[in-house]
Each structure stands twice: as C-alpha cells, then as structure tokens.
Copies of this chain bind each other. A is one copy, B any other.
Amino acid sequence: MTGRSAKKPTADASDWRGSFPALHQEINGHPLVYLDSAASSQQPAAVIAAVQTYQECSHANVHRGVHTLSHRATEAYESARDRIADFINASNRTEIVFTSGTTDSINLVAQSFCRPTLKPGDRIVISHLEHHSNIVPWQMLCEQTGAELVVASIDESGQVDVSEITDLLDERVKLFALAHVSNALGTVLPVKEIIGIAKTRGIPVLLDGAQAVPHLPVDVQDLDCDFYTFSGHKMFGPTGTGVLFGRESLLEAMPPYQGGGDMILEVSFEGTTYNDLPYKFEAGTPNIAGFVGLGAAVKYLQCIGMQRICQHEKELLEYMTMQLSEIQDIRLIGTAANKASVQSFMLADIHPHDVGTILDHQGVAIRTGHHCAMPVMEYFGIPGTARASLALYNTRDDVDALVAALHAAHKIFS
C-alpha cells in the first residue's frame, strides 16, 4: 500500500490543498487539520471567486428578463446545469433538477413520485445504514399513505446483504432507496448489482449519493438508477445547493412538488399549466449564486479528474485505517471491504464527544456523535462514534496529526 504509486497522489494532494483558503489557518494555536469533509467540505478559491464575481458583475433574477444582467445570470445558472449533467453523465440536461440539498431531493421524490399513488400494503425499502435524510422522509410518507417501510439489515462490517435484499424486492415494493456510500461507516454499497436485481423486477431505485459524488466517478447511465441525489456543500460547492437526477420518463409523469414562479407555463384561476422539465420542479427564484459556485466546483473536480481523486483517497484511507488500527484500545467501526473516505472509531471508553474536544484543541477537526445515522449507532450498541473523513485535499500529514492527537487524548483519560 505504501508502494509505488503512494508518493505521487500525496504530492498532488498538497498542490490541491493550496487551492483551499480555509485550510491555511490556525485553530487553537495549531495548523488546521480538517478531517470533517463528510459533514461539509471546504471550497477551493475558484468557487469562492466565482460566487463573488457573479455577485459583483452578473447578478439578476434568471429566466424572466430581457436585460443584460438577467441574461448573464441565466447563462451562468443554466451552464452549471450542463456541467453537472455532463459530470454525472445524465443523458439530458432536463434530468437535472436543482434543489437545496440531498434532503430536499429525497423529500421531492417521496412526495411527488411516491405519495400520489402509494397505498396501504405497498412498501418502501431502505437499508439500516441510511442517513436520517433517507429515513425520515419515508417514515413520514408511510404515515401519510399507510404504506410500510422495510429495512434491509447490515452486518458487523457495515455492509448490506445482497441476497436478503433480493428476497425483499417483491411486487409490493414501490421504491428502493439506498445510500451509494454510507456517511457513518464509509461503506461503498454494491449498488450496481442491487440495481440490476431491482430492474428485473421493475422496481425503481433511488440512490443517495451525498457521500459518493465527492469521492468516486459517478455515471448515472452506467449505474442505471432512476433517481440520484447529492449536495453541493459536500462536493466543494456552496451550501443550499443540491441535485436530483431523475430519469426523464419518471420526472415527466410526476406532478410538481412545490408551486410558484418559474414552474408554470400559464396561471389562471381556472387552471394552471406546468412548465417543462426541469423547471416544473424548480418553483421560485433558485439559489443562482449557489449553483454558479457549484458549477465552478464541478469544473475544479473535472480538471483534476475523479479517477485521480478516487485513487488518492483510496490510498490515504488505507493509510489512515492502518495507522488508526495500531492505536491501543481503538475499535474501528465500519470495516467493509469496499469503503470510501470515512473511518469511524471508538477510543477506549472515552466518549466520542470528549475525543472530539481534545482533538479540536490540537487543531484536528473531526465529527463525533451519531452522524445523523442513529440506527447505525443502535446496531453497534454505541451512542456515537468519532469519525475522521477525507477529501481530495487531505494528506498523510493530516493522518499523522490525527494519530498524535489521539495519543494525547488517551493520555488525558488514563
């Protein structure tokens, strides 16, 4: 693992790191070591500048104006859509709906795709390792419709069981909603295999890609999924931006989610005609500046190449896991064979929250707690974990700082 190709990506990463202003500050007298990208990532200077320039030179409301600024704003906003369609290889830009985040995207599908036809006896299937954003919308939906929420189990490594899923996917199932990568455990799920099975039974599949898009090349046509959701703020773009990819034929048939400006062709009190895709699902003034920033973030990622990022992170995650596993009294949570970006752990009997504080005092930012995945914590019988998560800008130095800080924590509590 420390072999031939380990050096090169690390060198790249320190170049990449230079583009992120937030990483070059001191926290509590120490250089910041940011290992919390799974919660939210930092932005490269190009994204910050794109938003600023947009505000200083091009802002106006989109779609509805003949004047120059409005035209500029519309071009900037819509070209972000083209870029994102290209990035995840959607077959058409009409399949890219802009939302405020993964949570918004999933709620849209629950309310607009499922709710109108769901009835008692129908089922929605999710897995035990989902983020609350891929649990609660379905619980609410089931309460509203009388349908049943069914949960596919996980094993001690934090992986789902494909054969159990195969059994669950019967004709009662109206949607299977699944994480592509688990935020609490880092597990990469065998989504292609699962989608293949669901397809043969005509069951639509939604993937929660919030933790996948920043780390892996994602190709929605290759995956053959029906819906794919992700958030801008986890992929080096602004908060308040998200994407719902939906297969055109499905989006076409869905009623709108919210009503308002821009999602209509004609409004009268006798009746209203809805707009074409994707605008039917984009009611109200969108987060224009945010999507301009997200477009810049995607451009940044495309310039480096997701394959390279993936390789760099893979090696770094292996290094981190190895270094962590050598710490005394550590228990790694999430040990699936195929993982990305994340390692959760418990240090001796120190509560994760205390670990987080002690690390922060040494400049090391990690997340502690349930990571919005309480059922995962319940499964492992723990109140929460400490979680270190990687992004393209992290290096082995970051991992070394993490390990040193954990030793200090151990000392304080012993």
Name the B residues within 8 Å of A238 (CB-CB).
287, 289-290
Stretch at the interface among A60-68, A171-179, A301-309, A391-399: A60-68
Decide: B260 and A356 in contact? CB cutoff 8 A.
no
Minimum distance in angstroms from A42 CB to a CB of chain B:
6
B66→A39 contact, CB < 8 A: no
Q: With contacts A136-B259, A260-B106 known, is A66 near B353, CB below 8 A? A: yes
Q: What per-residue 1/0 map shows which CB atoms of A8-30 lie under 8 Å from chain B?
A: 00000000000001100101100
Q: What is the CA–CA distance of A61 and B36 in the complex, to the nearest angstrom? A: 9
Which residues 5-60 of A sit at the B interface, judged by CB distance below 8 A?
Answer: 21-22, 25, 27-28, 32, 34, 36, 39-40, 42-43, 47-48, 51-52, 55-57, 59-60
User: Contacting chain B: which of A82-90, A193-201, A321-329, A365-373?
Assistant: A365-373
Contact call B100/A284, Cβ cutoff below 8 A: yes
Say yes or no: B22 contacts A42, CB within 8 Å. no
Inter-chain contact A290/B59, CB cutoff 8 Å: no
Q: Which residue of B lies closest to A141 (CB)?
A: B259
A60 to B40: give the CA distance in the assembly, Å. 6
- Judge whether A146 is part of the interface by a CB distance below 8 angstroms: no
Q: A25-B57, A286-B239 are in contact. Are A149 and B269 (CB under 8 A)?
A: yes
**Known A-B contacts A36-B65, A259-B140, A360-B68; A102 and B284 likewise in contact (beta carbons under 8 Å):** yes
A359 to B68, CA, bound (A): 10
Interface presence of A211 (CB below 8 A): no
A67-B267 contact given A60-B39, A239-B285, CB 8 Å threshold = no
| A202 in contact (CB, < 8 A) | no
Contact assessment for B368 and A258 in the assembled complex, using a CB-CB cutoff below 8 Å: no
**Residue contact B287 to A100, C-beta cutoff 8 Å:** yes
| A263 at interface by CB-CB < 8 Å | yes
Contact of A68 among B28, B140, B378 (CB under 8 A): B28
Is A167 part of the contact surface with B, judged by Cβ < 8 Å? Answer: no
- Could you say which residues of chain B place their CB within 8 Å of the CB of A52? 48, 51-52
Copies of this chain, complex-wide, total 2
Across the interface, A103 reaches (CB within 8 A) one of B66, B260, B353, namely B260
- CB pair A261–B61 under 8 Å, yes or no, is no
Q: Bits for A103-126, please: 1 = Cβ < 8 Å to B, else 0.
A: 110110010000000000000000
B360 touches A259 (CB 8 A): no
Other-chain residue from B100, B268, B368 in contact with A66 (beta carbon distance below 8 A): B368
Q: A359–B67 contact, CB under 8 A? A: yes
A131: chain B residues within 8 A (beta carbon): 261
Q: Using Cβ atoms and an 8 Å threshold, which residues of chain B touch A168?
A: none
Give the top 3 A-B pairs by smallest Cβ distance, nearest first.
Answer: A240-B287, A103-B284, A136-B259
Given A65-B365, A68-B360, 5 other A-B residues pairs in contact with their CB atoms under 8 A: A22-B56, A39-B65, A42-B55, A103-B261, A132-B267
Interface residues of A (CB under 8 A from B): 21-22, 25, 27-28, 32, 34, 36, 39-40, 42-43, 47-48, 51-52, 55-57, 59-61, 64-70, 100-104, 106-107, 110, 131-133, 135-140, 149, 151, 231, 233, 238-241, 255-256, 258-264, 266-269, 271-272, 283-290, 353, 356-357, 359-360, 364-369, 371-372, 374-375, 378
